[in-house]
Structure 1
Amino acid sequence: MPGYNHLFIPGPTNVPDSLRRAVDLPMEDMRAPDFPEFTLPLFEDLKKVFQTETGQVFLFPGSGTGGWEAAITNTLSPGDKVLASRFGQFSNLWVDLCQRHGLEVEAIDVPWGEGVPVTRYAEALAADTEHRIKAVLVCHNETATGVTSDVAAVRAALDSVGHPAMLYVDGVSSIASIDFRMDEWGVDVAVSGSQKGFMLPTGLAIVCVSQKALEARKSAKLNRCYFDFEDMIRTNASGYFPYTPATTLLRGLRASVDYLLGEGLDNVFARHHRMAEGVRQAVNAWGLKLCAATPHWYSDTVSAIYVPEGIDSAAVVRHAYYRYNLSLGAGLTKVAGKVFRIGHLGAINEVMVLSALAGTEMVLRDVGIPVEAGSGVAAAQEHFRATATGEQSIAAAAQ
């Protein structure tokens, strides 16, 4: 089909032209004497995206899953107890990773459509008077269900009982898109990846670590090699890496950080909320329901949308791809066949969202879901028109 694929999955996301040009470079010497002039400022500016002054950023060639493994293996020992919750595909996979590494995981199962159960976390932490729990895991944004959890509330639960456990956050589909405050929320390890809010190709695990977690590495006994913080600390100090870095992605990351800081993080978060609300207005106009159980859980980076009984959501995704060259996210595991997902994160604006909604409306009607033509698009249009500001228009034009 002529034209290009319209990518509205929750990652990888669209790569802006300026970032695509930034990675389209000849190979370079990663041992060059002037390489640190590039890398050292990048490490420092990445801390601004995580909103930390005291944390340290590590850049591993890999994915968010690699970031999870780096977080766990560098800070914990076999048999350590971890508190976690399962309410979607990715929160479940992080639990699985911990179990495979020989950790004792107290995993609280939560209905899909809800998020981290803060009250139950608080109860578990209060009951742990011997402080056997060494780490508390939070999936900030569960991509499978379109649910965002309250990291600050988990920190408050830890502090209310004076529990010393470290706080780990999977921010793969939230950091650089949804408000995330590492220092203010007392996060000890935060994991992200290049392919979502950072608007780059897949290939970098971006991990930020508190001083408390760095200290914990000294007694951590889990096996590690490729993801060893120690090797990174030693070589990063002078601006280099312990093995060949993904230099083109690092150049793209420099452009990404400039893009984000240039827009302003508060503006980035507000833009994502505004785009997400446009999608939610459309879903409501279609008469469909989000997987997220209540507005409390709504995600500003991805919406998982239930299809009516008797409709296979996989057919929605297939039809969108083959008929309209539109990529929507599929339902995963427990919600496979029940939901499809619209990703609305990264380099995205009103007209891009409207194109996704228009295509989705055609798909829904084609597969027999009785939505009124133009209803979702019109609802989103009116939301965008009502919430537009001159400043937003100027910023969008500048980008």
Structure 2
Amino acid sequence: MHKPGRHFLQIPGPTNVPDDVLRAIDHPTMDHRSPEFGDLGLRALSGMKWVFKTAADVVIYPASGTGAWEAALVNTLSAGDRVLMCETGHFAWLWHRLATRLGLEPEIIPTDWRTGADIAAIAERLRQDDGHSIKAVCVVHNETSTGCTSDIAGVRAAIDSVGHPALLMVDTISSLGSIDYRHDEWGVDVTIGGSQKGLMLPPGLSFNAVSAKARAASDQAALPRSFWSWDEMFAANRTGYFPYTPSTNLLYGLVVAIERMQKEGLDAIFARHQRHAEATRRAVNAWGLEVLCRTPEHYSGALTAVMMPEGHSADAFRKVVHERLNMSLGNGLGRLANRVFRIGHLGDFNDLMLAGTLSGVEMGLKIAGVPHARGGVGAALDYLSGEISATAAKAAA
């Protein structure tokens, strides 16, 4: 059935792709061995270093974030190596499962999926590891299934406080370009990213930012690798090329997306995401519903997961919103299936888009018969307009 108007895609990725990025992807396909492609490749690689805030090497794969997870592990580890992970949500659990399938021995620190990584527990487990059998600590920076972030600088400090040599690997798939992240400053060894969220591209590109320590570990790693091999990528990337056919048209889009980000500035981008997240939480609170993340210091700027009242189906609510209002909201994953819905507010997104999104949620709650108080949209608008007024007053002073 035809639905008039533009579909509101408010899942936490893939996100809306800006028109100029779409037009860039629409360029005629380039010869990936031409001099022009070498220039494009160098621009993309240099731009991604800026996004990661790193001087280290960055690898770009024609793959989803899952591929970049695997690349981080197979390039640095050997069969039977122990890996310490923190189960902050569904995607942390999936990374754990992938590690198991590769022949690693992951240990997982559990949480209730309503908070970020347990830094004290990470430090204690590493303190117990006198023989340094744990070779890597893997943490999801922004858990897309829960709307909880983790303190990566704090994790690095915990590793250093006990003098442990484990590599630090961080998944930034839903935080890169949306939430403040600093690969070099925070001492991360491998950072994993994806194209389809804060970078405002379709799915299809993923990334590893690789420290010198991780490169050294790759010389000793014995897990099989071919497609994911860093060495072949680094060698080809020096001149902007790839060892196999890259996603040429997505690279066109990536360069334009990075140029957009550079014009706005990373600090402004991060502040915009935090504003929208705070406005969304105020709406949720006004509705009398509960934000899944229960620790304010771990609130996500990229998405908000909302708990449904007891006895009400999140999936039934989402279906009403999709069919009646032409808007997609994120579903609950894993142990949160049918218990939460997720509002994505990341990427190419502004105040009016958020107002429309929250209006759709409030209308959907009423149509679906979900118990709630009125006024969530108003609470968000009061906050947003107050922030705008305060910024204007500061600029005029």
State whether TM-score is above 0.5: yes
Q: Alpha-carbon deviations, 1:290-340, whole Å to 9, x = none?
A: 110121221110111001011000001111111110000011121111100
Q: Alpha-carbon deviations, 1:178-229, whole Å to 9, x = none?
A: 0001111000000110000000000001211111111111111001111111
Q: Alignment partner of 1:253: what SS?
A: helix
Aligned equivalent of 1:215:
216
Aligned equivalent of 1:185:
186
CA distance in 1, matches of 2:136, 2:166: 5
Aligned equivalent of 1:343:
344
CA distance in 1, matches of 2:389, 2:166: 43
CA distance in 1, matches of 2:390, 2:249: 35
Identity within the alignment, %: 49
Aligned equivalent of 2:96:
95
CA distance in 1, matches of 2:392, 2:350: 10
Q: Alignment partner of 2:83: what SS?
A: strand
Aligned equivalent of 1:51:
53
Q: CA RMSD in A?
A: 1.3
How many residues align structurally?
A: 391
- How far residue 233 of structure 1 moved from its aligned partner, in angstroms, is 1.2
1:14 corresponds, among 13, 16, 19, to 16
- How far residue 125 of structure 1 moved from its aligned partner, in angstroms, is 0.9
CA distance in 2, matches of 1:45, 1:314: 39
1:35 corresponds, among 34, 37, 48, to 37
Aligned equivalent of 2:67:
66
Residues 40, 251 of structure 2: 8 Å contact kept: no
What are the equivalent positions in structure 2 for 1:310-325 lying under 5 Å apart? 310-325=311-326
Q: Alignment partner of 1:191: what SS?
A: strand
CA distance in 1, matches of 2:322, 2:222: 46
Q: Alignment partner of 1:388: what SS?
A: helix
Residues 24, 256 of structure 2: 8 Å contact kept: yes
AA of the residue aligned to 1:42: A
Q: Alignment partner of 2:9: what SS?
A: strand
AA of the residue aligned to 2:292: C
CA distance in 2, matches of 1:3, 1:42: 34
CA distance in 1, matches of 2:335, 2:390: 43
CA distance in 2, matches of 1:203, 1:372: 41
Q: Alignment partner of 1:112: what SS?
A: coil
- How far residue 370 of structure 1 moved from its aligned partner, in angstroms, is 2.9
Aligned equivalent of 1:380:
380
What are the equivalent positions in structure 2 for 1:109-188 lying under 5 Å apart? 109-188=110-189
CA distance in 2, matches of 1:105, 1:46: 29
Q: Alpha-carbon deviations, 1:162-188, whole Å to 9, x = none?
A: 111110000000011000011110000
| Structure 1: segments with no counterpart, 5+ residues | 394-399
- How far residue 372 of structure 1 moved from its aligned partner, in angstroms, is 3.7
Residues 288, 373 of structure 2: 8 Å contact kept: no
- How far residue 391 of structure 1 moved from its aligned partner, in angstroms, is 7.0
Aligned equivalent of 1:76:
77
Q: Alignment partner of 2:291: what SS?
A: coil
CA distance in 2, matches of 1:25, 1:121: 47
| Structure 2: segments with no counterpart, 5+ residues | none
